[in-house]
Amino acid sequence: MAKGTVYLIPIPIADGALDTLSKEISTHTAEIKHYFVENVRTARRFLRSVHATLVIDDLHFSEIDKHAGPDMALLRKWLKDGLKVGIMSEAGCPGIADPGADLVAVAQQVHAEVVPLTGPNSIILALMASGLNGQRFCFTGYLPVKEPMRSKSIKELEATSVREKQTQIFIETPYRNDHLLADLLKNCASRTRITIALNIGAPNAFIKTKTAGEWTNELPTLGKFPTVFLMLGS
């Protein structure tokens, strides 16, 4: 059994929204010296915002390579050495729709203790505020970008939603938000309910549920903000 401990550290979804974090994050990050992060610069900035007197140069960061993935050998070494290891996403909870899941899988394999800390998760927050089915739901991640696979995927998700009475949840790269909304309205039945949950936790947060037909008559401009989309057919 590995002697180290992995801490999963949520990051605010909206910039600067530190009030959405639990006190335990501040408590644990005051002690953790070794981190796996998606971006070293933003991780440093976050830690400075939480601990004004923290000596950042005393910390060790391993940035998760977008193509090669995380350095698993380094994680195994740190855990074997009995270290406290933090994992941070760019936003939200690590291990949910990000490469942190691969690190957690290794930690579980070597029987290290894994400690998830409390913080904001855009998927759950969007579902809570949607009014859609919170008993049966499925997170799909990113939909295909290119046609005809994109339209095919939307129609299949809608059919599953109707058949299973299951809320479908998905996300998109922010600069394609408006394109995805247009594709949803083009492919979904007018009675299908669609929730747009934009920039959750920020002063300009927008969470609204309407039918596809209602959205078509009042089309919003979403812009390049982190957005979660939810769908429930009937």
Q: Is 76 exposed, middle or buried (0-12, 13-18, 19+ CB in 10 A)?
A: middle
**pLDDT at residue number 24:** 95
* Contact (CB, 8 A) for 2 and 62: no
CATH architecture assigned to 122-232? 2-Layer Sandwich (3.30)
Return the domain boundaries, the chain: 5-116, 122-232
**pLDDT at residue number 91:** 87
Mean pLDDT by 10 residues, the chain (234 residues): 90 87 94 96 94 93 91 96 95 88 95 94 96 97 95 98 98 95 97 96 94 95 94 96
Residue 112's contacts (CB-CB under 8 Å, 6 or more residues apart) are 1, 2, 3, 4, 5, 6, 79
The two most distant CA atoms of the chain are separated, in Å, by: 60
**pLDDT at residue number 25:** 95
User: What's the rounded Cα separation, in Å, for the pair 28 and 86?
Assistant: 9
**DSSP state letter for 43:** H
Cα 220-121-101 angle, rounded to 5 deg: 120
Q: Is 161 exposed, middle or buried (0-12, 13-18, 19+ CB in 10 A)?
A: buried
Residue 37's contacts (CB-CB under 8 Å, 6 or more residues apart) are 43, 61, 62, 63, 64, 87, 88
User: What's the rounded Cα separation, in Å, for the pair 146 and 164?
Assistant: 27
For residue 72, which phi and psi values (nearest 5 degrees)?
-65, -35
**pLDDT at residue number 125:** 95
* Contact (CB, 8 A) for 8 and 116: yes
Q: How many CB atoms lie within 10 A of CB 191?
A: 12
Structure tokens at 227: 């957005």
Residue 204's contacts (CB-CB under 8 Å, 6 or more residues apart) are 198, 225
User: What's the rounded Cα separation, in Å, for the pair 232 and 179?
Assistant: 19
The amino acid present at 147, given as its one-letter code, is E
CATH architecture assigned to 5-116? 3-Layer(aba) Sandwich (3.40)
